[in-house]
Chains A and B, each alone.
Chain A
Amino acid sequence: ETGVTQTPRHLVMGMTNKKSLKCEQHLGHNAMYWYKQSAKKPLELMFVYSLEERVENNSVPSRFSPECPNSSHLFLHLHTLQPEDSALYLCASSQAPIAGGLGANVLTFGAGSRLTVL
C-alpha cells in the first residue's frame, strides 16, 4: 500500500461507453498526475494538477477528461475511446515545490487501472 489508491483495477469498455477512473491519495500531497503506460512504450505524462489547478496537459485527446475536485482526489473521465487507448493508467502524487520553493517532485504511484477498449 503506497498511500495512492486507484479504482477500478481492471476495466473493459466498448468504444461508445462512458466510464471514469478514480484516484485517491492519503499522503497530504499537493500535486496529482495521470500517466499512460502502453506496451513497448515509456510512461507518458497525460495531466498534472497542482493545488487543484491543471498545470500540464500533454496534447491528450479530448476523449480523456480529467477532474480534480480537491487535492486528495483525481478522476479521469473516458468517453468514445479507441482500441489503441487500451493501456495501464497510473495515478501518482507528490509534494511538489511551490514556485520558488525548495524540494523536488518525488512521485508515489498507485497500482494502476488496466483498461481494455473493445
Chain B
Amino acid sequence: GIQVEQSPPDLILQEGANSTLRCNFSDSVNNLQWFHQNPWGQLINLFYIPSGTKQNGRLSATTVATERYSLLYISSSQTTDSGVYFCAVELASGAGSYQLTFGKGTKLSVIP
C-alpha cells in the first residue's frame, strides 16, 4: 500500500514562531487532506489539497503532486495550534475506494 511519512514527528515552538510540516507519499494521489487533532481528540479538516496552494488565515498548504510531497505552513503560531497534524492521502488508482491512508502525524507544542 501507499506509504505516508510526516516530518518532523515532534516540534516545539515559541509562540509567534513560524513552522513548516512536511508530508511525503510514495505513489500518485488524487486526494490529500491535512487535519489538526486537538489535545481532546477532535480532528478538524484544515485543507483538501491534492495539488496547488491554499491559504486560510495563518495556515497555508502546498502540494507538489509530481514530486509527491505536501507542506503545511503555520505562521505566527499560537498556543491553540498545539496538537497533532495529520496528512492523509488516497491513491489515484484507488479513486472511489474510500481508503484514506493517514501518516503518523507531527505533534506540535506551542509554548507561551
Contacts and interface: CB of A to CB of B under 8 A. Distances in A.
A42 interface: yes
Interface in B23-75: 30-31, 33, 35, 40-45, 48, 50
Given A2-B44, A104-B30, A111-B42, A43 B86 contact: yes
Given A55-B98, A105-B31, A105-B90, A111 B103 contact: no
A90 B103 contact: no
Contact of B104 (A31, A42, A48): A42
Nearest to B50: A104
B99 interface: yes
B2 to A, nearest CB: 12
B30 A112 contact: no
Chain B, interface size: which category?
20 to 34
B102 A42 contact: yes
B63 to A, nearest CB: 13
Interface residues of A, number: 27
A45 B104 CA distance: 14
Given A104-B30, A105-B31, A107-B33, A90 B96 contact: no
A109 B42 contact: yes
A50 B98 CA distance: 9
A108 B40 CA distance: 16
Which among B45, B90, B101 has the greatest number of chain A C-beta atoms within 10 A? Answer: B45
A45 B100 contact: yes
A99 B4 CA distance: 26
Nearest to B41: A112
Interface string A1-17: 01000000000000000
Given A43-B86, A105-B31, A33 B98 contact: yes
Contacts of A2: 42, 44
A18 B111 CA distance: 42
Interface of A: 2, 31, 33, 37, 41-43, 45, 48, 50, 55-56, 88, 90, 92, 96-97, 99, 104-109, 111-112, 114
